[in-house]
Amino acid sequence: MRKLIIGISAADGMRIGMRLLELLREMPEAETHLVVSRAAERNLQLECGVSTAQIQALADYSYAPENMAAAIASGSFQTDGMIVAPCSMKTLAGIAHGYTDNLLLRAADVCLKERRRVVLIPRETPLSRIHLKNLLAADKAGCMILPPMLTFYHKPADVAAQIDHIIGKALMPFDLTPAAFRPWEGIT
């Protein structure tokens, strides 16, 4: 069983976080622990037309972002790591610099201090020098930075296929492969 913490912060790209939860829901070998930032709740409504309760229903466990006593706030609670999708520049800055004023940031901090995987899917364009410095700082802290870049080798038919591919890449470090993901197999 893979225990994954899923963080959704207030960046454009709510469909990425929502689809991540949908794909993980189809995997019996995955257990999800979700924390959605308060600002992300509004973005979910604006971008996807879904409520916080609807997104929480996709996870096995869900926590309020103010609940600093939640299981995922402690290193003694064993997880395989965390994916933040999407990751706002504010959340990126907090993770990169150890600023843990909410549960999403604390959970990432715990994963990093326990040497667990943390995958960030940052959403911003263009990137400022501050963003770039924070991305580098997060990488140096141990995060995998996975911007949702367009890919074409898998011949995506639409945006949904692009999102599935990004999620497949985000799950690779956890040895999870969603059925919707087609990795490059090379040419023979």
Q: What is the pLDDT of residue 18?
A: 97
Fold type of domain 2-174:
Rossmann fold (3.40.50)
Between CA 75 and CA 97 the distance in angstroms is: 18
Q: What is the pLDDT of residue 184?
A: 84
Q: Which of the residues in the chain have pLDDT under 50? A: none
Q: Which of 12, 104, 27, 103 is nearest to 58 (CA)?
A: 27
Domain ranges in the chain?
A: 2-174
Between CA 93 and CA 185 the distance in angstroms is: 35
Measured at the alpha carbon of residue 104, what is the angle toward residues 29 and 43, in degrees to the nearest 5?
95
Note whether 6 and 62 are within 8 A (CB): no
Q: What is the pLDDT of residue 185?
A: 84
Q: What is the pLDDT of residue 107?
A: 98
Its pTM stands at 0.97
Here the tokens at position 135 are: 């991305």
Q: What is the pLDDT of residue 44?
A: 96
Give the DSSP H/E element, type plus range, for residue 82: strand 81-87
